[in-house]
């Protein structure tokens, strides 16, 4: 074999290994499989083992830690009428979390893609458009976005 052939072969192997390493690193750092996202994807409802349900965009579903963004959840009103539930945007809590959540997949029972015309999606979209107080009818006496 000629020296040129061996050098080209070595460069190809090094290039392939570098590319594979980059892909693995990028996937491990959040570039993994994306189920949906704010860029045209569908919002999901994520049901956890503790009974809590979160609504948002999930990614990295093939990893042990699933990432969720643009998060909303139901919160029982302690002062309001019994059975009243509010739809709350993550980030308004006293501890001031950012609008991203990292969920251990062992705590996820299942998740579902939500239709664009789902009442929760309509309420979230209305709230984002400045129509605060829009109601989601038929969910334990109604819900409002806070």
Residue-range definition of the domain harbouring residue 46: 33-144
Q: Tell me the Cα Rg of the chain.
A: 22
Co-location of 18 and 78 in the same domain: no
pLDDT of 49 reads: 95
Q: For the segment 93-118, what is each residue's pLDDT rounded down to a tens digit?
A: 888 888 899 999 999 999 999 999 99
- Full DSSP string of 70-123: EEEEEEE-SSSSTT-EEEEETT-STT---SEEEEEGGGEEEEEEPPTT-HHHHH
| Domain CATH for 136 | 2.30.30.100
Co-location of 80 and 14 in the same domain: no
Question: How many separate domains does the chain show?
Answer: 2
Co-location of 18 and 81 in the same domain: no
Task: For the chain, give the percent of residues with pLDDT over 70.
Answer: 71
Co-location of 17 and 47 in the same domain: no
Kindly list the distances between the CA atom of residue 16 and the CA atoms of 8, 13, 26, 28, in Å, as whole numbers in the listed order.
Answer: 12, 5, 15, 18
């Amino acid at each position: 074999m000629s020296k040129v052939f061996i050098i080209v072969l070595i460069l190809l192997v090094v290039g392939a290994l570098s590319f594979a390493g980059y892909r693995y690193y990028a996937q491990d750092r959040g570039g993994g499989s994306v189920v949906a996202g704010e860029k045209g994807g569908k919002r999901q409802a994520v049901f956890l083992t503790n009974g809590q349900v979160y609504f948002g965009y999930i990614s990295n579903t093939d990893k042990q830690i699933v990432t969720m963004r643009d998060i909303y959840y139901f919160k029982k009103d302690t002062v309001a009428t019994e059975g009243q539930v509010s739809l709350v945007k993550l980030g308004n809590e006293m501890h001031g979390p950012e609008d991203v959540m990292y969920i251990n997949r062992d705590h996820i029972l299942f998740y579902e893609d939500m239709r664009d015309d789902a009442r929760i999606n309509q309420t979230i979209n209305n709230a984002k458009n400045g129509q605060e107080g829009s109601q989601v009818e038929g969910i334990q006496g109604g819900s409002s976005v806070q």
